[in-house]
Structure 1
């Protein structure tokens, strides 16, 4: 039975699995987001995943996410198999999604018993499971048997414990004071030394030695605290090892200690160039759990501000991308125009980069007087500037020579590594969540999905430039068709309640006080919502146990998947090609490390 008590039809893929493996091989779980969710025995997970990837029509080519849940303190697990820990696999079939909207997702779960359980690795089926399994082991202590190199990925090598387990403290004040003496510092530095043999690399051939070069984690071309160790034969890259985690600050753990409302500002800092676009999947997941329907005006405002942040993010990408391949002037012009967009954002929200302005059920306040004039000035000004940049950057012969046919990959390879967003569309696949499964009312807007065909460094820039033009087109439609009505839903769990009502009746005033100080009590259940963010698909998978805070907060970011792909694409290229490739990925380490 579904959560609302009505009998739900069996999804097509679930029936296919029943036919292949038998209905008794699975336990069906109904979730608030409606995503088909099946429990599988750990001895069969590899077999089931391989069948889904290669044995069904319209296969699930992408392992979208892999995470875990510590179930030991959870109270509401009705209808689910007994488990101390759960490993969760989320698959995406873009072919199914494009053929039949909302039909491309599938969630598989494996129940595990014991304090430090194990299950087979699925890297033999999905190569991008490598980093995800390392992350689960690092943060939960769950072992994946047969993994090629199960080692810490987010935390330092000598870190003690697994911090997403429920017994691990959530605040620094719960630990003893940290002391860094000389011995500890020396041991930590020793643990960070790169040993090629540990990564399956040879130090050289019979006739020559390879050179190993550290790039980062403090280097301007690394775009943040990102380290990549290169194995070089001369200037040719034989292999490389991306090393992440230098920016990890426990964003998911913080999501499990803050109230649903007070966690909103933390989401701004995930992709810190995406601003309110990070609020959106988090709040959409809460609203799905709580059954809140956001009014049309609030939805349109959300779309408008999200597209403003897409433009500011892409302008930063555009300028630094050109800079990384040798063009120094464009970045200064693009930062000027980025500030013009921030002027509009600040006028509407009161803040610039991190407004944390979306709220449960809507937005923080209504649009201010004069907002339409500012938005109109921007949408009339920006297209001409993009035309100028076309000549200065994309038609520049040096930029073209440095980026054409460099670090190219095709659609199949992109899906294998979990690539989404402009990096996927640059391969020729017109897949955009705003079209494939519209949210927030995107189905009411007229815009195109920019695509390219070569999937190289140049095309990844071309796609983003055209996306800015389409964002301007969407913002203009918001301007001309802004609905009337409330900016926030009239629902008891909307947080905070509409301000104008708090001084009219005591019940609303009490509700306002409780929901801001204590937090709303969100009904128990699970929901994951995805958005087409600035750098690819971003999603929040929230588990509520009927409390004032999330039981499990999972943040799936696009950049994590994109950096894992680097070695597969860059082998055989030169070091300067790697710099251009890194620039074309468009990532920030806060989005990777969380």
Structure 2
């Protein structure tokens, strides 16, 4: 089989380590000695393989030497046992991947990989370096069975405690039809019931005061203020929260596992269901990652259409956040007005895409179809009307003294704390850091558009809300520029791996018709390699990391969502406050449980 791009290789004797994050390795003989190889990837993100014993030492040195905040952006693993194309990479059944991001003017990124042997699937924890490593390491243990020595609370996080096996291993079933019919014996039932009994010590809770009695309260998993099937176990002393332990996974449905059994093209609708309020914003990083793997260049008109639709969904998502946040703290009227505005957004999206919430409208190489007649008038009318309504909401909500009392000074955190916990998006900018991926690492046509980056200065609930509201105004500004400057031209790349290819060409000859049929049914065969793409999503940075093994399906699909990282902060923000304040904090985080559990 031949591929349009060369198979990626590694260079074990590379004399240089690209980028500023890995620049420390370039100038240190000590660290150069622990490098196994330097990997070349499709997305050109600097990638190095470290020796297992030196992992913690090197990561600590990289963090301490960084000239800007260095975030642990993602941590995941790869089951390499069935992978064919790994030329030059260390031979190992499993790989653990650390994705680092420098939060400065260029949003530089780097990957650190460690090869693990089947006899010793363990690594030292890095929870002492980055707080957000806690949940990421638990996720890797849960889904891959890789242990992290020294982890403070290593237990399953997305699957039930009684689950057997590790779902993202290649030898774990992907469908229920691959298993025998389900049965539940009396012994199994007793085992499941025992696992549901609450034991504070199992949850990592302990008595903080020998002279007080404690009450444990379940907030959720079916409580309106937790915005989905989400549970927080609260330890209370009187009316104050002593400890809070989030419990997630109720919504887990194996979105990453599904990526291993769907063709590159047919997986697009699955992405819509991750942040189900973000619509095509979820398609965006996925198709960009596929396009990077295939070397596909998207034409300008398709790029601007993508940006326009993504910003419409940002507005729709932020309106849901705005209305439900206000409702959480007791003001019931605004949510009805804001959902009315959201319906107008959906009317525009439906007119363009044919669907409202989950249009799955982006395609590999472009978009599904061109803009319909009359699209411009619909959008311009909305652009003219919404700013006046936002002004009314400011008077109704943001200048309301009761609302201000419920949100100002509540749930505050600093920029340094945000970086430690992996917070991105409005939650990061509310701390005062003017950092937006659309500006720091422009994708699509954002480098051609003018917009401001709203920030706060206290990092509390009120600032997070204010940043969301100003982002709505900036999205309106971006959309207006798209309408005014929409280029002419094709809406899909003229590339053999674009899926599906233009229908009109199928009438030319039987070979073209066969090619079209195979492209629609099987999808393209992408060249082997690794690539990631990231966007400034509705709630923070949303990224897809894809591995192709030269097949019609992804070998590994990794979805990095903002909500998963953000909910980790709940224990930090909850201690010493009252339950009513916790409700305000949960609303201000702006999360969706499908985005957490995937």
1:16 maps to 2:24: yes
Structure 1 Cα separation of the partners of residues 206 and 9 of structure 2? 59
Q: Structure 1 residues 462, 532: CA separation in 2 closer, same or farther (over 3 Å shift)?
A: same
Tell me how far 1:75 sits from its aligned partner. 0.4
Structure 2 Cα separation of the partners of residues 488 and 195 of structure 1? 56
1:74 maps to 2:83: yes
Consecutive unaligned residues of structure 1, counting only runs of 5 or more, are: none
In the alignment, which residue of structure 1 is the partner of 2:180? 176
Which among 499, 505, 511 is matched to residue 507 of structure 1?
A: 511
Q: Structure 1 residues 505, 373: CA separation in 2 closer, same or farther (over 3 Å shift)?
A: farther
DSSP-derived class of the 2:201 partner: helix
Tell me how far 1:507 sits from its aligned partner. 3.0
Q: Deviations over 1:156-211 (max 9, x none)?
A: 00000001000011111101112245543442232133322224422463322111
DSSP-derived class of the 1:238 partner: strand
Consecutive unaligned residues of structure 2, counting only runs of 5 or more, are: 1-5
Contact preservation (8 Å) 2:547, 2:554? yes
Structure 2 Cα separation of the partners of residues 131 and 574 of structure 1? 25
Tell me how far 1:145 sits from its aligned partner. 1.1
Structure 1 Cα separation of the partners of residues 134 and 141 of structure 2? 11
The CA RMSD measured in Å over matched residues stands at: 1.7
Contact preservation (8 Å) 1:53, 1:59? no
Structure 1 Cα separation of the partners of residues 515 and 383 of structure 2? 40
Tell me how far 1:59 sits from its aligned partner. 4.7
Which among 242, 245, 250 is matched to residue 241 of structure 1?
A: 245
Deviates more, 1:194-203 or 1:273-282: 194-203
Structure 2 Cα separation of the partners of residues 150 and 222 of structure 1? 24
1:349 maps to 2:353: yes
Structure 2 Cα separation of the partners of residues 302 and 39 of structure 1? 36
Structure 2 Cα separation of the partners of residues 43 and 5 of structure 1? 21
Q: Deviations over 1:244-294 (max 9, x none)?
A: 000000000000110000000000000000000000000000000000000
Which among 341, 344, 369 is matched to residue 373 of structure 2?
A: 369
Tell me how far 1:398 sits from its aligned partner. 1.0
DSSP-derived class of the 1:543 partner: strand
The within-5 A match list for 1:257-272 is 257-272=261-276
Structure 1 residue ranges (4+ consecutive) displaced by more than 4 angstroms after TM superposition: 1-9
Which among 162, 165, 169 is matched to residue 161 of structure 1?
A: 165
Q: Deviations over 1:430-456 (max 9, x none)?
A: 110110011001000011011111100
1:47 maps to 2:57: yes
Contact preservation (8 Å) 1:196, 1:203? no
In the alignment, which residue of structure 1 is the partner of 2:99? 90
TM-score normalised by structure 2 residue count:
0.96
DSSP-derived class of the 1:67 partner: strand
DSSP-derived class of the 1:114 partner: coil
Q: Structure 1 residues 547, 279: CA separation in 2 closer, same or farther (over 3 Å shift)?
A: same
1:126 maps to 2:130: yes
Structure 2 Cα separation of the partners of residues 312 and 388 of structure 1? 18
DSSP-derived class of the 1:150 partner: coil
Structure 2 Cα separation of the partners of residues 169 and 387 of structure 1? 53
1:475 maps to 2:484: no
DSSP-derived class of the 2:22 partner: helix
Structure 2 Cα separation of the partners of residues 171 and 542 of structure 1? 21
Contact preservation (8 Å) 1:268, 1:278? yes
Structure 2 Cα separation of the partners of residues 46 and 10 of structure 1? 21
Structure 1 Cα separation of the partners of residues 149 and 313 of structure 2? 42
Tell me how far 1:53 sits from its aligned partner. 1.0
TM-score normalised by structure 1 residue count:
0.96
In the alignment, which residue of structure 1 is the partner of 2:387? 383
Contact preservation (8 Å) 1:365, 1:487? yes
Q: Deviations over 1:31-66 (max 9, x none)?
A: 001101000011111001111111x14155311100
Contact preservation (8 Å) 2:10, 2:89? no
Which among 34, 38, 63 is matched to residue 25 of structure 1?
A: 34
In the alignment, which residue of structure 1 is the partner of 2:48? 38
